[in-house]
Amino acid sequence: MRKVGFFQSVQHKTVLIYMLLIIIAMQVIGVYFVRQLETTLKDNFKTSIHDKVNLLTYYVEELLTKDTPPDENEVSLETNIRNILGDYRTADILEVRVIDGKTLKIVGTSDPDNQELVGQKSTDTIIRRVIATAQSDDREMIDPQTGKRIWVLAKPVISNEKVVGAIYLVSKIENVFVQMKQINQIFITGTIIALFITVVLGFLLARAITKPISDMRRQAIALSKGNYSRKVRVYGNDEIGQLAYTFNNLTKKLQEAQSSTESERRKLSSVLSYMTDGVIATDRRGRVILINDQAALMLNVSRETVLSTPIVSLLDLEDEYTFDELVSEKDSVILDYSTDHNPYILRANFSVIQKETGFVNGLITVLHDITEQEKIEMERREFVANVSHELRTPLTTMRSYLEALSDGAWQDKDIAPNFLNVAQNETERMIRLVNDLLQLSKMDSKDYKLSKEWVDFVVFFNRIIDRFELTKEQTVEFERKLPDKPVLLEIDPDKLTQVIDNVISNALKYSPEGGKVTFRIKEQEDQIIVSITDQGMGIPKGNVNKIFGRFYRVDKARTRKLGGTGLGLAIAKEMVEAHEGQIWARSIEGKGTTIFFSLPYEKYEDEEDEWN
């Protein structure tokens, strides 16, 4: 028996959940408690300091507003303030300074080590701002000497609504954070103790819950192996105990139901034997009780929606067959779901499910997709018809002219040469047609090999264009947009010459006088794109994808007049694909057509460096 993983065990999950709950609760409580405690401690600390500063302000105000100059027996202002500040040297206060509001001079400090500052002018910005605005100011900062946090308080000394001085106090607020650290350590210790207790109690509680579940799991494994003799122990009358009792009752029911599954096994065996195709099973009334995924996909239906549907309705045979007729049907039934644009044909075979007594218990329907076979058959018939038509036209023409010659037209010196010329042209056209058919047949049989060699495609392309430019009879301009560097490809020059010849010939056939044919080569990362654009009559949008079909012509009358066979682009497509490329077209009716084809191309770093 496979061991249950740590995080797949209910017992471990229960303990883990308890631990997470405790951690989350303690963290939420801790964050709230610590923040509130920190705020309270800081507020108490600052209130205590404020009380001391307020008392000090009262004494300092009296000294700073004293009008009579001190006599010989009286102590000076600095001495009085030093005596007062001596009482403020506590554990929480680092230093207290008193600044004269008129001169901004320091008249006293509580720090014995800073007595040399007395009498000097204060340069602290906070002092100047407090005296100027008559508003207290405070801030927390880090002492650059000790690296500990301090709290600086500056408070104006006001007499008769006039600022007569200021008190500058530096306190050690770090003591508050030290207390917080100690409290946090106590809190963390308490959390760890609580977690330990939770883990112990969690394991005990989880074990009490999961032990009956583990027993039922072992019983389920035994049931899957066909062992119905085991019973689950009932530990109590709670929900888990009732579940264990129900589980034992289910085991008994399964054992009783096993004997009634034999007929279903026979039905399932029939279904499984046809799983490579669409399979549909019905009950004895012809309603669907089972349909596999392939059948649902073929019929474009959902398995849930077709259950209990009559088989004749599902297959759209209500007008032709009843269920009883399908049961007695020995031959296949063709189901044609074709549309105007997409052919789709299925063949249905029916197999009857019978009991040993001969009672019909249902029907198994097996669906085969024969669309591709029908398409091939249609293409074969169309091909034969096209070939017959293409051969019949020149043969009919030749027979007519030969009959005229045999009737005496050969003696007419004006007519006979013209008749013989037509017969010769039709003969050559039939020869080209037969040669094209033989070439297509050879390429379809895949028994030919390409004679590849490395060529500079730019030079190769230019050479073919030059040949057409020298021999063309129309007034058509050739425009070349080709790279000015070599493009090395491994190709069969003869085959690609034939491809380009066919495309350029078509471009010239359909180009008007004064038109232009544009040649382009575009380099991409792993291929080159060759395009030839004419300014002819174009191709209707719905027929662009058909021009690479066999015997397809845009203008049949003109093509036959110029001797075309309708196989040139079909041969070009086969040859480009033999080079592991693709060929396609774009056209705008009335403006022209562009034929594209791609060829594999691999750049080499040394070649790039050489040409750069």
Per-residue confidence (pLDDT) for residue 518, from 0 to 100: 92
Per-residue confidence (pLDDT) for residue 110, from 0 to 100: 81
The number of residues making up the chain comes to 612
Q: What percent of the chain has pLDDT over 90?
A: 3
What's the total number of domains in the chain?
A: 4
Q: Is 211 within the bounds of a domain?
A: no
Q: Is 495 within the bounds of a domain?
A: yes
Better-predicted residue by pLDDT, 442 or 233: 233
600: which residues sit within 8 A by CB, 6+ positions away?
Answer: 489, 526, 527, 579, 580, 581
Element (H, E) at 346: strand 345-354
Let me know whether 148 and 57 are in one domain: yes
Which conformational region is residue 592 in: left (phi greater than 0), alpha (psi within -120 to 50 degrees), or beta?
left
pLDDT at 402 over 80: no
Confidence band, pLDDT 50/70/90 cuts, at residue 612: very low
Q: Is 233 within the bounds of a domain?
A: no
Q: Is 575 within the bounds of a domain?
A: yes
Q: Could you give the count of Cα atoms lying within 13 Å of 571 in the half-sphere of its Cβ?
A: 26
- Average pLDDT over the chain reads 77
Let me know whether 549 and 420 are in one domain: no
Confidence band, pLDDT 50/70/90 cuts, at residue 2: very low
Q: What is the pLDDT of residues 50-100, one digit of tens each?
A: 888 888 888 887 777 775 555 554 557 777 777 777 777 777 787 888 888
Let me know whether 306 and 380 are in one domain: no
pLDDT at 598 over 80: yes
Helical H runs in 457-539? 457-471, 493-510
Please tell me the distance from the alpha carbon of residue 382 to that of residue 386, in angstroms, as a whole number. Answer: 6
Per-residue confidence (pLDDT) for residue 599, from 0 to 100: 92
DSSP 233: P
Q: Is 358 within the bounds of a domain?
A: yes
Per-residue confidence (pLDDT) for residue 513, from 0 to 100: 85
Please tell me the distance from the alpha carbon of residue 31 to that of residue 433, in angstroms, as a whole number. Answer: 91
Is residue 571 within 8 A of residue 565, CB to CB? The reply is no
Let me know whether 424 and 475 are in one domain: no
Per-residue confidence (pLDDT) for residue 512, from 0 to 100: 85
Per-residue confidence (pLDDT) for residue 566, from 0 to 100: 64
Strands 278-282 and 360-369 come out as antiparallel
Specify the residue for token string 């308490």: 190
Is residue 281 within 8 A of residue 267, CB to CB? The reply is yes
CA angle 605, 609, 611 (to 5 degrees): 115
288-293 long-range contacts, Cβ below 8 Å, gap at least 24?
Answer: 288/314, 289/362
Please tell me the distance from the alpha carbon of residue 531 to that of residue 486, in angstroms, as a whole number. Answer: 17
Let me know whether 18 and 156 are in one domain: yes
Domain-terminating residue out of 315, 347, 369: 369
Q: Edge-to-edge, what's the strand order for the sheet holding 477-481?
A: 477-481, 516-523, 527-533, 592-600, 583-588
Q: Which phi and psi (to 5°) does residue 33 adopt?
A: -65, -45
Per-residue confidence (pLDDT) for residue 9, from 0 to 100: 62
Please tell me the distance from the alpha carbon of residue 585 to that of residue 566, in angstroms, as a whole number. Answer: 16
Please tell me the distance from the alpha carbon of residue 169 to that of residue 133, in angstroms, as a whole number. Answer: 18
Per-residue confidence (pLDDT) for residue 138, from 0 to 100: 85
Let me know whether 35 and 151 are in one domain: yes
Please tell me the distance from the alpha carbon of residue 138 to that of residue 169, in angstroms, as a whole number. Answer: 9
Q: What is the pLDDT of residues 316-341, one digit of tens each?
A: 888 888 888 888 887 888 888 888 77
Please tell me the distance from the alpha carbon of residue 23 to that of residue 27, in angstroms, as a whole number. Answer: 6
pLDDT at 442 over 70: no
What 3-state class would DSSP assign to 66?
A: coil
Cβ-count burial of 557 within 10 angstroms (0-12 exposed, 13-18 middle, 19+ buried)?
A: exposed
Rounded to a whole number of angstroms, the distance between the first and last alpha carbons of the chain is: 69
Q: Could you give the count of Cα atoms lying within 13 Å of 303 in the half-sphere of its Cβ?
A: 12
When computed from its CA atoms, the radius of gyration of the chain, rounded to whole angstroms, is: 51
Query: What average pLDDT score do residues 223-250 get?
Result: 73
Better-predicted residue by pLDDT, 581 or 560: 581
Is residue 9 within 8 A of residue 189, CB to CB? The reply is no
Confidence band, pLDDT 50/70/90 cuts, at residue 608: very low
Query: What average pLDDT score do residues 210-237 get?
Result: 72
- CATH code, 70: 3.30.450.20
Please tell me the distance from the alpha carbon of residue 278 to that of residue 370, in angstroms, as a whole number. Answer: 12
Per-residue confidence (pLDDT) for residue 562, from 0 to 100: 45
Q: Lowest-confidence range among 4-18, 52-66, 283-297, 447-461?
A: 4-18
Let me know whether 290 and 394 are in one domain: no
Please tell me the distance from the alpha carbon of residue 54 to that of residue 329, in angstroms, as a whole number. Answer: 112
Query: What average pLDDT score do residues 567-588 get?
Result: 83
Q: What is the pLDDT of residues 134-165, one digit of tens each?
A: 888 888 888 877 788 888 888 888 888 888 88
Specify the residue for token string 């030093």: 82
Task: Return the exposure string of 19-34: e unless at least 16 CB atoms fall within 10 Å of the residue's CB, then b.
Answer: eeebeeebeeebeeee
Let me know whether 133 and 81 are in one domain: yes
Per-residue confidence (pLDDT) for residue 441, from 0 to 100: 63
Let me know whether 385 and 521 are in one domain: no
pLDDT at 519 over 90: yes
Q: Is 74 within the bounds of a domain?
A: yes
Q: Is 317 within the bounds of a domain?
A: yes
Q: Which phi and psi (to 5°) does residue 400 adopt?
A: -65, -45
- CATH code, 522: 3.30.565.10
Let me know whether 127 and 111 are in one domain: yes
* CA-closest candidate to residue 595, choices 526, 519, 487, 512: 519
Element (H, E) at 599: strand 592-600
Please tell me the distance from the alpha carbon of residue 15 to that of residue 107, in angstroms, as a whole number. Answer: 68
Please tell me the distance from the alpha carbon of residue 487 to that of residue 455, in angstroms, as a whole number. Answer: 8
Per-residue confidence (pLDDT) for residue 551, from 0 to 100: 60
Domain-terminating residue out of 137, 158, 178: 178
Better-predicted residue by pLDDT, 71 or 503: 503
Q: Is 186 within the bounds of a domain?
A: no
* Residues of the domain holding 90: 11-178
Let me know whether 416 and 496 are in one domain: no
Q: What percent of the chain has pLDDT over 70?
A: 80
Q: What is the pLDDT of residues 54-63, one digit of tens each?
A: 888 888 877 7
Let me know whether 52 and 157 are in one domain: yes
Per-residue confidence (pLDDT) for residue 386, from 0 to 100: 61
Please tell me the distance from the alpha carbon of residue 19 to that of residue 13, in angstroms, as a whole number. Answer: 10
Confidence band, pLDDT 50/70/90 cuts, at residue 611: very low
- CATH code, 440: 1.10.287.130
CA angle 394, 396, 398 (to 5 degrees): 65
Is residue 343 within 8 A of residue 371, CB to CB? The reply is yes
Domain-terminating residue out of 137, 159, 178: 178
140-143 long-range contacts, Cβ below 8 Å, gap at least 24?
Answer: 140/173
